[in-house]
Structure 1
């Protein structure tokens, strides 16, 4: 497999523009689609390498799937690939959210897209199930990692903190495997605390472009846990502390982020536009995603060193299987909220069978699901 083969920037741009345009369903679905496109279809890297990159993204703040895209770009074309992959993955969602923000300000409501989600969500679940199966076979290498993955899923359902679960499982696997071999070296990989955090910035005045940038830079530097944690951050800072928008506007912004493909962090584009128009949209988007680019640039060179260390490698094995355990928990929640009637159940089962039995491009399945949803909801 051409692990070390570089790729032209145009090819990287093409891949991640496509993924950014069709990646509905949140981080779990994004990871599944990257696995299909990068590992299966193009063979740019091994599944083990993808898992290592995914494990590292879980230990730094920011949107995991976007950081995975940035990692892949860096692996395939250096710092230029890092910028191209991340930007192209973000851009389609940013553009769609920006347009919806303009319509929202004009008409004061969120355009309905129930038909779109009705058909697409069951397809996305099937894509995630396949990715869990493929990634799980690689991640669960032995009894300790298998137990770790199961415990991570249990911890998810008991409301455990995601970062703590990752660390506990990673350390547990590391201690078990190295203690058994009497090679305990004490190597630890701790989550980054956010090198660019702006805790002391006072933003209680007018929401200028710079202030909006700093507000979202802080969030992007500190936020673990995805979209629902993002909601809590925005509520506390932008609604309660700065009073830049109302709780109702914030909920509409989160809804838009979930309705559109790509990273839910493009909610920042919507919020920025509501607060300060086009300048606000740009400032908020750059602010919330900039830390991810910088953190990946700092962390990526250490991935191979971590894998080559006995202690750190077993820790990363634990983090990888814990990541999939959390992904399994998220998938169960998605099934409960997406499979709402007999038609969506049938669509989920049929799509799962198609994906496992035939080599079908996930983009066509997503588009087909959206078309089916349109037909059903408009008849």
Structure 2
């Protein structure tokens, strides 16, 4: 049983409202900030509770930082705390993305906007490539099976230009089978999940908002490994399948997510706004984060007991490896579309170099510099 909290729920809400407003730097920076602020300095959260939150966030699908925040809200204040923290953490970046969406729609055709995004989008390719590289080294590590699943997923995504969901789920089963053997985990849950997906897909409606809700619910349920994992899924659905966005608009959406605080997954609100205005943004954001919330609070009471199960870990590990492979494939697809000339290739390469050379350099500064370079180049090249 947890000890009596030394802070109020309003204290926690204020903290996460501030973190969601000023928390630049991506999942790694946000997770590190929570540890330093809540476990080390304020001592609101114990080391054990923090580590359990990290473990659950890595096992379950969903953006890491958002899930950890929700779990930390749950520790002392249960479902109410998880709900309040989830809302206060996400709402600042949602509002920022919404404002940028309105601005984008109103002024998106102006040359100076296009010039800014020329540099930003090339830089975003480098940022995603660097993030994928770090995720790959951290997750795949060694082992023939892991690398085989990673390469297969990357190649399939790059060739088919879409995330192969069946491959991702199947890889979880394959990795679990070879690492844990069937006796170590009940297969019923996996089988039920596989049966559930086609049912979601088969639901049909002429309502755009309903289609947005169904699509983004599926997206939120399969963000394994990192918020970046949603990029290939969104590309396949928003650009290739439903044709809601052009490839240029999709790259702009990813760029918007990179220049705002909070999780990268918040790009769904921008996409939703472009498709169906304010209602589309709200439906997309709620649909994406609801699975994240449920996958955190529902298993939280039982996580101490089953979270360390080897079979569960291996199944999720297989899915995570393949999801990261899909990100790598998506980088190739996006690069083919965006890096169309020497300046854009140079900006992406410079971004990679800076991130690799200066580990603590904020991505926000790089994107700002790329925007300036893009504006200058547009004037020179005209």
Q: Using structure 2 for the length normalisation, give the TM-score.
A: 0.69
Give the Cα separation in 1 of the matches to 2:337 and 2:287. Answer: 32
Pairs aligned (count): 317
Q: CA deviation at 1:360?
A: 0.9
Whole-Å Cα distance in 1 between the matches of residues 147 and 355 of structure 2?
Answer: 25
1:172-226 deviations in whole A, cap 9, x for unaligned? 11000113xx8543345436649999947675xxxxxxxx755543443356721
| Structure 1 equivalent of residue 29 of structure 2 | 37
Change in Cα spacing, 1:185 to 1:76, as seen in structure 2 (3 Å) is: closer
Is the helix fraction higher in 1 or 2?
2
Q: Structure 1: state its 5+ residue gaps.
A: 23-32, 58-63, 204-211, 236-249, 274-280
Q: CA deviation at 1:285?
A: 2.2
The TM-score normalised by the length of structure 1 is: 0.69
Gaps of 5+ in 2: 1-5, 37-46, 74-81, 223-232, 258-266
Measure the CA separation in 2 of the matches of 1:10 and 1:287: 25
Cα distance between partner residues in 2 of 1:354 and 1:271 = 35
- CA shift at 1:232, angstroms? 6.0
Q: Distance in 1 between matches of 2:335 and 2:206?
A: 42
Residue 348 of structure 1: aligned partner = 348
For 1:41 and 1:360, how far apart are their aligned partners in 2?
Answer: 16
Query: Residue 121 of structure 2 contacts residue 251 of structure 2 at CA under 8 Å; is this kept in 1?
Result: no
> What is the CA–CA distance in structure 2 between the aligned matches of 1:88 and 1:132, rounded to whole Å?
26
Residue 8 of structure 1 deviates from its aligned partner by 3.9
CA distance, structure 2, for counterparts of residue 71 and residue 85 of structure 1: 10
Query: Secondary structure in 2 aligned to 1:226?
Result: helix
Q: Which residue of 2 aligns with 1:82?
A: 86
Aligned to 1:377: 378
Match of 2:260 in 1: none
d(CA) in 1 for partners of 2:154, 2:109: 34
- 2:176–2:314 Cα contact (<8 Å) kept: yes
> Structure 2 vs 1, CA of residues 89 and 366 (structure 1 numbering), >3 Å: closer, same or farther?
same
CA separation of 1:291/1:299 partners in 2, compared to 1, >3 Å: closer, same or farther? same
Whole-Å Cα distance in 1 between the matches of residues 52 and 159 of structure 2?
A: 29
- The one of 166, 169, 172 equivalent to 1:167 is 169
CA RMSD, Structure 1 to Structure 2 (Å): 3.8
Cα deviation 1:145-165 (Å, max 9, x = unaligned):
222212211222342753212
In the alignment, does 2:155 pair up with 1:126?
no
